[in-house]
Amino acid sequence: MVENLLYILPRGLAIGALISAPMGPIGMLIIQRTLSKGRWPAFFTGIGAAISDLLYCLLAGFGISFITDIIERHQFALQVFGSIVLAIFGFFLFRKNPTRSLKTAEVDNRSYWGEFISGFFLTFSNPLILFFIIGLFARFNFILPEYIILHYIWAYLTIFGGAIIWWYLVTLLVSKLRSRFNVRSLRLVNRIVASILIAMAVVGVVLAIVDHLPK
């Protein structure tokens, strides 16, 4: 049993970090929030994203064939839905006043529920990540037939731990640079990130339509 736990540990941490590492919408949002609101609101956004990723890992581990069949049948709708979510986040971020964000963070730096929820739903809006997770599970030979319940619990805890460590380090690094940004540069960061999110949403819809066209 101990050998299996040691086998799982580095692989689970690596999978958790690799799922989080690609600098997609959630990564850019966390960097933006670290700069505008501070490290801890951004970190709680990362926790929300990590829990969402963990749910997808559970789905991948316990229902691979069933889930992938659903995604393949409804890929167009899922791509469009995910793109709409990105566009909404981008629109509100583009209009956001960074001065107000800074003041809000100073007044109430203990209320991170909104950051957690937005991190969770932005990540959860991209179910296509399941294919990436399945690929990682296969690459690391992560799920073995001899596992018992304890092994599964440990496996998913290590994935969550890997994601949490990743976001902790990212927010720590970006927070070290925060003092170099003023309100004007924060507004510029907001609009750059928002524009990228909206552009990704438009590209996502276009690709979904192209893939859906008869060949």
Q: How many other CB atoms are there within 10 angstroms of residue 73's CB atom?
A: 10
Is 17 within the bounds of a domain? Answer: yes
Is 110 within the bounds of a domain? Answer: yes
Is 159 within the bounds of a domain? Answer: yes
pLDDT at 185 over 70: no
pLDDT at 173: 87
1-6 average pLDDT score? 82
Alpha helices in the chain (DSSP H): 2-20, 25-36, 39-62, 64-73, 75-95, 98-107, 113-124, 129-139, 149-177, 183-212
Beta carbons of 9 and 140 less than 8 angstroms apart: no
pLDDT at 38: 85
pLDDT at 4 over 80: yes
Q: What percent of the chain has pLDDT over 70?
A: 79
Residue 180 DSSP symbol: G
The parent domain of residue 137 ranges over: 2-76+97-182
Looking at per-residue pLDDT, the higher value among 165 and 89 belongs to 165
Beta carbons of 67 and 165 less than 8 angstroms apart: no
* Best CA proximity match to 210, nearest among 122, 70, 80, 42: 80
Q: What percent of the chain has pLDDT over 90?
A: 24
pLDDT at 13 over 70: yes
Is the pTM above the cut of 0.75?
Answer: no
pLDDT at 104: 46
Is 82 within the bounds of a domain? Answer: no
Is 204 within the bounds of a domain? Answer: no
pLDDT at 97: 63
Is 188 within the bounds of a domain? Answer: no
pLDDT digits (tens, 9 = 90+) for 71-96: 667 777 767 876 787 687 678 767 76
Domain count for the chain: 1
Contacts of 44 (CB under 8 A, 6+ apart): 112, 115, 116, 119
CA atoms within 13 A on the CB side of 124: 14
Is 10 within the bounds of a domain? Answer: yes
Task: Say how far apart CA 147 and CA 6 lie, in whole Å.
Answer: 13
Is 203 within the bounds of a domain? Answer: no
pLDDT at 195: 84
Degrees to nearest 5, angle at CA 16 with 14 and 17: 65
79 CB burial (10 A radius; 0-12, 13-18, 19+):
buried
Task: Say how far apart CA 119 and CA 114 lie, in whole Å.
Answer: 9
pLDDT digits (tens, 9 = 90+) for 105-144: 444 445 688 899 999 998 888 877 887 787 788 777 787 7
pLDDT at 105: 44
pLDDT at 162: 96
pLDDT at 67: 58
Beta carbons of 176 and 32 less than 8 angstroms apart: no
